[in-house]
Amino acid sequence: MEALPDAAVLATRLKNTLIQYHNLEDEKWRVAKKTKDVTIWRKPSEEFNGYLFKAQGVIDDVVNSVIDHIRPGPCRLDWDSLMTSLDILEHFEENCCVMRYTTAGQLWNIISPREFVDFSYTVGYKEGLLSCGISLDWSEKRSEFVRGYNHPCGWFCVPLKESPSRSLLTGYIQTDLRGMIPQSAVDTAMASTLVNFYGDLQRALKKA
């Protein structure tokens, strides 16, 4: 039996860490990739030998709908092209769970499929929502996957002031893919993956 975290303590610590990232001054960030709709920045992570990425873009839908598509659940698997499976291992309460998910290979399979076990928490933030997560050291592993690790990460979603039916979505991601991959390949993949994430999400919400 796995030792489950103290959900309330972990949730509070995680939320506070994400708010700290969200309040970092602009000059701490460097642009990693920019498209018409999305900007990706990065800065060295304080958690591991890689980068903390920040992504931001406007999504044409209301906050609840956007977060329902991002947080763990059946919606996520339908549209996220990187995710290949998602199982809820433990429910603490409606907004709090442990999930296991797998991702497809990337960069022509230079990055092989990965498995993650994450604690996930969704909570109100200002007039919107924050959905955040962190990986757990889960002992049960599957041999066909390399186990990756998500340091504190999350998505802030708030209504646009001038157009409340649209949302400003800001994400913070710092993923240690582990395995034998050069960090430069991971960094290249991450910026592109985040841009694709916004495109996939936007298309899914239009269909919904």
Q: How far apart are CA 128 and CA 137, in angstroms?
A: 30
Over residues 1-29, the mean pLDDT reads 89
CATH class of 7-206: alpha beta
Tens digit of each residue's pLDDT (9 = 90 or more) over 71-123: 988 788 889 888 999 999 998 887 999 999 999 887 666 678 899 999 999 99
User: Residue 55's pLDDT band (boundaries 50, 70, 90)?
Assistant: very high
Q: Give the per-residue pLDDT at 2.
A: 58
Q: How far apart are CA 56 and CA 26, in angstroms?
A: 13
The pTM score is 0.93
CA distances to 24, 98, 151 from 11, rounded to whole Å, are 20, 12, 14
Q: Give the per-residue pLDDT at 1.
A: 45
Tens digit of each residue's pLDDT (9 = 90 or more) over 111-157: 788 999 999 999 999 999 999 999 998 878 887 888 999 999 999 99
Q: Bridge-partner residues for 147, per DSSP?
A: 115
Over residues 152-170, the mean pLDDT reads 96
Greatest Cα pair distance, the chain, in angstroms, is: 50
Yes or no: say if 142 and 115 are a contact pair by the CB < 8 Å rule.
yes
Tens digit of each residue's pLDDT (9 = 90 or more) over 10-22: 999 999 999 999 9
Yes or no: say if 130 and 156 are a contact pair by the CB < 8 Å rule.
yes
| Alpha helix positions (H), the chain | 7-22, 63-70, 74-79, 183-207
Q: Give the per-residue pLDDT at 89.
A: 92
Domain-wise residue ranges, the chain:
7-206
Tokens, residue 74: 């059946």
